[in-house]
Structure 1
Amino acid sequence: MGDMSTRRSRRPTIIDVAARAGVSKSLVSLALRGDEGVSDATRARIRQAADELGYRSNSLARALVQGRTGQLGVIVTDLRNPYHTEVALGVETAAEAAGLGTFLANGRRDPNRLAQHLSAMLSLNMEGIVVVSSRVDYSVLAAAAKEVPVVVVGRPESTPPGLDSVANEDEAGIALAVDHLIELGHRHIAFASSSTRPAAMARRRGYEAAVGRAGLGRHAAQTIPDGPGRSAAVDVVLRSPVTAIVTNNDLLAIEFLDRAVELGIDVPGRMSIVGYDNTDLAARVRPRLTSVDQRGPALGETAVALLLERLAGRSADRHEVLFPTLEIRTSTAEPGFLPR
């Protein structure tokens, strides 16, 4: 009984299809890949046998043998951040338009895990790989770029030769947020970041430059750590004598919004808050979040365009920069509180 159960649960193979249709294994292979040398009647009999058995041809295995998969690999830092999801969706949309599929892997903010995913993508013969992360080591990226076209979306510490990149102009994005707050009448503006990665540090520099141009003091440039001290660091900024906070991403901005409710701090009456990324979450929270739109889907689509150029023979490296816009919603308003 045990053997019969095993046989029933085993995935049907091309040999099973051949036996059921009464033809050779090679003829089944020819029929399933659409070879013109197989008659219509024989092809129909083989397809019927395959359907009855529930057989699925292993297109990936065949592609590995042929050296072409028709697939792009997409590796993201953290799928919990909707910005990374939106970039991945942009990659998928552009890949589909080019007749390519996508394989997605989540690095969970771990450089070792990201490197493992990149290695796995290479072993699967991806046509190209999009890395939506600045956390992959230089040497790992350099080695990968020698095998297939690789595009990094974001700002790595440094970019090895043979690799393309596409990034957002972070300094300009933060300047849009600060200038908006200044136009509203704010003169006491803080910057809060949950990261010390290159993009976050560029946004911090953009904040410092923007308030400097306006002749304002740098009231706070606070790094919000992970772990036990995180809520205390958020409270420090919210309880400071500033009237507006610019954050380095939407997730942190929403964390500030949530904590402001708990502390009885009115947003935007007492405190205006600006996010960065303009993810779908920004339009769903209350108050609706003003946020810098770094055009995540467009970043993904641009990455695919760069990969396709590499596949077409381009050898010179390209590093594209997309300029963001500001989506103004109801989390920012004229200051209703003037610090002493």
Structure 2
Amino acid sequence: MSELQRRPTLMDVAEAAGVSRALVSIVMRGAPGAAESTRQRVLDAARQLGYRADSRARLLRSSRTKLLGLTFSSSQPFHAEIVDAAYAEASARGYEIALSAVASGRPEARAIETLLDVGAEALIIIAPTLNVEDLALHARQVPVVSLLRDNVGDLVDSVSSDDYAGIAIAVDHLVGLGHSRIFHVDGGTAVSSDRRRETYRTEMIRRGLQPVVVPGGPGEEDGMGAGQILQADLPTAVIAFNDRSALGIMESFRAAGISIPADVSVLGYDDSHFAKLSYVQLSSISQDAPLLAAAAVGRAVDRIEGAKSPGSVVRTPHLVLRKTTARAPAAT
């Protein structure tokens, strides 16, 4: 292993000092935001490890790179659709996109660190899981735009879809088709799951209907498991947390001989490319990935080029009708 490969990194210092990589960066740059005791702990750890700042990385960060760093989850197809749209919007604004995936064994903090090291002038983080304090630390270095999550504090820009409106549209659609036994398969711990779940409950109760939430998650296997639970007390309609969950629910129903939509209507969320497949034709709530991506890139570029204060953009989703929702079956 070469000397360069053996050189301690900011992350090494962060782990030794028991702080975040962003906080180490702040200390090393002499920027405000760290308590004196923390600053001293970081400097001691750096000295013990023999950390030396990478002059090449510092030079890169001191000049314009015209790079927007974008993190995404490699397991979420909807994120990939946002990435596709972000490339086009960034190019139109004279910028390039640098991607960094959040994957198994590669946490969000590492994905962000990589983008900062290549000189990203702003970060766009899709559905961030970091807490508000860690996001704020990054926002003290470069502008940060949170995409699909808006409870991110005062230092971070946000671009999100109105989950309240989306679920209200979903319930309205199914009630309008004569459904009253409408169940919701939630997204577990996924970003936006709690908001969609509580909005579903509120919308059902507001209409004098009984809400029933079935535990789920963001993936097809989560939907399959929820579908097994639903078969024990079959509703006439299901609102899934997202399209991937809906696909799992549909597969579970079909394997059991339950017809969609004759027996049960299934409504997804995201209007991902899966929903559009000719053999799926899933009705879904669209979050308009291109519009969300354009708004996020716009916020990042505006902040780089002089906008002083973080802002919030909220877009209203809409219903895309296909073949998995229909009128409620007649009572027998």
Q: Deviations over 1:126-178 (max 9, x none)?
A: 1211000231232321111111111000226x413321001110011011111
Counterpart check, 1:107 vs 2:102: yes
Match of 2:92 among 91, 97, 100: 97
2:291 is matched with 298
1:141 is matched with 135
Alpha carbons of structure 1 residues 260 and 290: separation in structure 2 relative to 1, 3 Å: same
1:31 is matched with none
Q: Note the C-alpha offset of 1:87.
A: 1.4
2:45 is matched with none
Q: Deviations over 1:56-82 (max 9, x none)?
A: xxxx98982762211111101x23322
Counterpart check, 1:86 vs 2:78: no
2:184 is matched with 191
TM-score by length of 2: 0.77
Match of 1:176 among 152, 169, 172: 169
Q: Note the C-alpha offset of 1:243.
A: 0.2
2:255 is matched with 262
Alignment of 1:186-335 (within 5 A): 186-218=179-211, 220-224=212-216, 231-284=224-277, 286-335=279-328
- Root-mean-square deviation (CA), in Å? 2.4
- Aligned partner of residue 165 in structure 1, secondary structure: strand
* Aligned counterparts of 2:108 and 2:116: Cα–Cα separation in 1: 13
* Aligned counterparts of 1:285 and 1:250: Cα–Cα separation in 2: 15
Alpha carbons of structure 1 residues 65 and 71: separation in structure 2 relative to 1, 3 Å: closer
- Aligned partner of residue 301 in structure 1, secondary structure: helix
Counterpart check, 1:122 vs 2:116: yes
Contact 1:69–1:126 (Cα < 8 Å) also in 2: yes
* Aligned counterparts of 2:289 and 2:167: Cα–Cα separation in 1: 16
Contact 1:267–1:287 (Cα < 8 Å) also in 2: no
Contact 1:269–1:337 (Cα < 8 Å) also in 2: no
Match of 1:336 among 316, 321, 329: 329
Contact 1:63–1:69 (Cα < 8 Å) also in 2: no
Counterpart check, 1:73 vs 2:65: no
* Aligned counterparts of 1:191 and 1:228: Cα–Cα separation in 2: 16
* Aligned counterparts of 2:111 and 2:104: Cα–Cα separation in 1: 12
Contact 2:164–2:196 (Cα < 8 Å) also in 1: yes
Contact 2:99–2:115 (Cα < 8 Å) also in 1: no
User: Percentage identity across aligned positions?
Assistant: 28
Unaligned residue ranges in structure 1 (runs of 5+): 1-59
TM-score by length of 1: 0.75
Counterpart check, 1:152 vs 2:146: yes
* Aligned counterparts of 2:185 and 2:161: Cα–Cα separation in 1: 19
- Aligned partner of residue 333 in structure 1, secondary structure: coil
Alpha carbons of structure 1 residues 108 and 175: separation in structure 2 relative to 1, 3 Å: same
